Every structure is written in structure tokens, then in C-alpha cells.
Chain A
Amino acid sequence: GENVEQHPSTLSVQEGDSAVIKCTYSDSASNYFPWYKQELGKGPQLIIDIRSNVGEKKDQRIAVTLNKTAKHFSLHITETQPEDSAVYFCAASFHSGGGADGLTFGKGTHLIIQP
């Protein structure tokens, strides 16, 4: 089955600086890579996703890059703000258009924005 490794487990950055979280996956058949933000006591909220036919995707201060050859993908947050403080999870799955679609998650990165 799929295995997703996520690093670092904790990341502390100064407000206004950039933050980068990295994930690797094991199953070369995986073709869908979402990122979720989870605040304390709440459910995961999708912030950005990328599919394997795209190398990079950007949405305002958030961007995701994908390297299929190396089987790794990264989340980049620029101009960090206090409200970016949360736990971020990467995930991977194979979307076939039918059959099982369970996401495999990394263990999460606790992002702390220092004022």
C-alpha cells in the first residue's frame, strides 16, 4: 500500500517569512496530492491540491510543487501570518474514477508563526 512521509514534524518561522513542508510517497500509481490544514479541535480543511499531470499549482500565498520522478511534493507558504499557525497534512491517493479512493496521510507538520 501507499506510504507517505512528511517533514518536518514541527516548523517555526518568523511572521512574514516563508514556510516549506515536504512529503514523499511510495506508490508510483498515486496521482492526486491534496494538502489539508487542521486547527485545534477542528476537521481538516483542504487548502490546495495537485494532480499528477501538473508540476506546480499556486493559489495566492500558497503553492504546491510535485516531482513525480522523485515521488515527492511540497507545500510553500509565503508571507506567513499568525493565522497560518496550524497542523498541515499532506496526502496521496490513486484516483481511478472508480473503486477505492482512500487518502493516505502524512503524520502532519505543526507550523508555528512567531510574531
Chain B
Amino acid sequence: NAGVMQNPRHLVRRRGQEARLRCSPMKGHSHVYWYRQLPEEGLKFMVYLQKENIIDESGMPKERFSAEFPKEGPSILRIQQVVRGDSAAYFCASSLDSGNTIYFGEGSWLTVV
């Protein structure tokens, strides 16, 4: 059973460009979470989505960041007009249902130059 798949694993963007990070949850999982990890820090919750719905985006910056989980295809975390402070590892996680164990992907490392 494939785990949570994230791509790209590494992404380099110049300041002002857009970054798109993709996440395919584990098979059968319909709940997706995005977390951000800054160097030497723990993971910070950003957003929780179910198919076609954003359930909780309380951890996501109000500007430049958006997330979606369409009916078909992977979940996308989009960062517009990236700045150096956006450089971090972005982890996607999925669960079978609300209240179930959350499994993480291997992460996407974003570097803004």
C-alpha cells in the first residue's frame, strides 16, 4: 500500500515566483493536512482539507498561501510571490477519517533564492 506521496521533493524558486506542492494521500484516505517545518523547529499545522472542502485553515497565512483538495487528483498547496521566509519543508499528511491516525509524506523542501 503506497504511503502519502509528495512532489516535488525539492523545489527552488526565485523571490516573487509561485510554488506549487502536490500531495496524494494514502489509498482510501479522504482527509489531508499540510504542515510546515522551519529549520530546527517542530511542525506547524497549516490547513486541514477533505475532498473539495477546507475544514480548518487557521494555521495558514492569510495572504499568498492557498490550498485545495479537488474531487479528482492530488491536494495542492500553492504559495504565490514567494519570499525567503517561505523556505521550509512542507509536509502533507492524510488520515482515513477524522479521529484516525495521521500519516505523513516525505516532505517537499522549498528553497527561495
Contact = CB atoms under 8 A, between A and B. Distances in A.
Interface residues of A, number: 25
Interface residues of B, number: 26
B70 to A, nearest CB: 21
A97 B98 CA distance: 5
B55 A105 contact: no
Interface in B6-60: 6, 31, 33, 35, 41-45, 48, 55-56, 58-59
A99 B43 CA distance: 20
A49 B104 CA distance: 14
Contact of B102 (A42, A89, A103): A103
Interface string A3-41: 000100000000000000000000000001010100000
A47 B35 CA distance: 19
Interface in A84-102: 89, 95-102
Interface of B: 4, 6, 31, 33, 35, 41-45, 48, 55-56, 58-59, 91, 95, 98-99, 101-107
Interface of A: 6, 32, 34, 36, 42-46, 49, 89, 95-108
Given A34-B102, A98-B98, A101-B31, 8 more contacts: A6-B42, A43-B6, A43-B104, A43-B105, A43-B106, A101-B48, A102-B56, A103-B43
23 contacts: A34-B102, A42-B106, A43-B105, A43-B107, A44-B43, A44-B91, A44-B104, A45-B104, A46-B102, A49-B101, A89-B42, A89-B43, A95-B99, A96-B98, A96-B99, A98-B98, A100-B48, A100-B55, A101-B31, A101-B99, A102-B58, A104-B45, A108-B41
